[in-house]
C-alpha cells in the first residue's frame, strides 16, 4: 500500500447548468481542467483525473500531462460515482479530492492540505470558506470504505459534515468560487480582473 497522498480531480459532470463543459472554460488562455491539473501535478503527488460526460473532447486537453485519466461510465448518477471509483481503484494512504470548477485552487492550497495531514492525526483535512467546509479535501485511507458508501449527487462534503470532529479546517476564502452557472463564471473572472 502507498502511504502517500493521491490527488483526484473530479471532472465527470455534464455542466448542465453552465450550458457547456466547464472543464473547457478558457481560464487565462488554457482550458480550466488543464490549469487545475497543472496545479495538482506541481505538488509532486500522483494525480488522477476522472472524466465522464464529454470525455472525448476533454481528454485531449490533458492527455499530454503526467497524470492518469479514468473514465466513469456511471457519471449520470452524480459525483458520488466518481468518488467511489477513486476510492476503489486508487492505492494510496489518502485521497485529496478536488473538483474541476474551483479556478482559484493553487499548488499552495493543495500542499497545505497535504502538509496538515502529515502533521496531525486527523482523518480529514478540508477547505473552509463562507462558513462551510468542502473540497478540496483530503481523506485518510481508513475512510475509503465510507467514501464508497456515497450515493447519487452526494459528494465529499456530506462525509466531512458527518465527521467534523475528525476534520482539520484550512481557510480557503477563494473556494467560494465554483463555476456552475454563467453568472458564477462572470463573478470569478471579475475577481481576477478578467
What pLDDT, on a 0 to 100 scale, did the predictor assign at position 121? Answer: 80
Count of domains in the chain?
1
Beta-strand ranges (E) seen in the chain are 5-11, 26-27, 30-31, 47-51, 68-71, 94-99, 124-129, 132-140, 167-171
Tally of CB atoms within 10 A around 78: 17
Tell me how far the alpha carbon of residue 187 is from its chain's centroid.
20
Average pLDDT over residues 144-160: 86
3-class state of residue 29 by DSSP: coil
Structural contact between residues 175 and 99, judged by C-beta atoms closer than 8 angstroms: no
Confidence at residue 193, expressed as pLDDT on a 0 to 100 scale? 66
pLDDT at position 46 is 98
Mean pLDDT for the chain? Answer: 92
Q: Let me know if 37 is exposed, middle or buried by CB neighbors in 10 A (0-12, 13-18, 19+).
A: buried
Cell 468518488, located at residue: 83
* pLDDT at 191 > cutoff 50: yes
**Per-residue pLDDT, 8:** 98
Q: What is the mean pLDDT of residues 152-173?
A: 87
CATH code: domain of residue 34: 3.90.550.10
Query: What proportion of the chain, given as a percentage, has pLDDT over 90?
Result: 71
- Whole domain around residue 83: which residue ranges? 5-191
Q: Taking each helix axis from N to C terminus, what angle separates 32-41 and 107-119, rounded to the nearest 10 degrees?
A: 40
pLDDT tens for residues 9-63? 999 998 877 878 999 999 989 999 999 999 999 999 999 999 999 999 999 999 9
How many residues in the chain? 194
Residue 1 pLDDT greater than 50, yes or no: no
Record the pTM.
0.95
Amino acid at each position: 500500500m502507498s502511504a502517500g497522498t493521491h490527488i483526484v480531480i473530479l471532472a465527470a459532470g455534464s455542466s448542465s447548468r453552465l450550458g457547456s463543459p466547464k472543464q473547457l472554460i478558457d481560464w487565462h488562455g488554457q482550458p480550466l481542467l488543464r490549469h487545475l491539473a497543472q496545479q495538482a501535478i506541481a505538488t509532486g503527488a500522483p494525480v488522477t483525473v476522472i472524466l465522464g460526460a464529454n470525455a472525448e473532447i476533454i481528454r485531449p486537453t490533458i492527455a499530454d500531462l503526467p497524470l492518469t485519466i479514468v473514465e466513469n461510465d456511471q457519471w449520470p448518477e452524480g459525483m458520488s460515482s466518481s468518488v467511489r471509483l477513486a476510492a476503489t481503484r486508487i492505492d494510496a494512504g489518502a485521497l485529496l479530492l478536488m473538483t474541476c470548477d474551483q479556478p482559484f485552487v493553487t499548488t499552495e492550497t493543495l500542499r497545505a492540505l497535504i502538509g496538515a495531514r502529515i502533521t496531525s492525526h486527523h482523518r480529514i483535512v478540508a477547505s473552509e470558506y463562507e462558513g462551510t467546509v468542502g473540497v478540496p479535501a483530503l481523506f485518510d485511507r481508513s475512510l475509503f470504505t465510507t467514501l464508497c458508501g456515497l450515493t447519487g449527487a452526494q459528494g465529499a462534503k456530506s462525509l466531512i459534515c458527518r465527521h467534523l470532529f475528525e476534520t482539520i479546517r484550512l481557510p480557503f476564502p477563494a473556494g467560494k468560487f465554483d463555476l456552475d452557472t454563467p453568472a458564477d463564471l462572470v463573478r470569478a473572472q471579475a475577481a481576477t480582473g478578467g
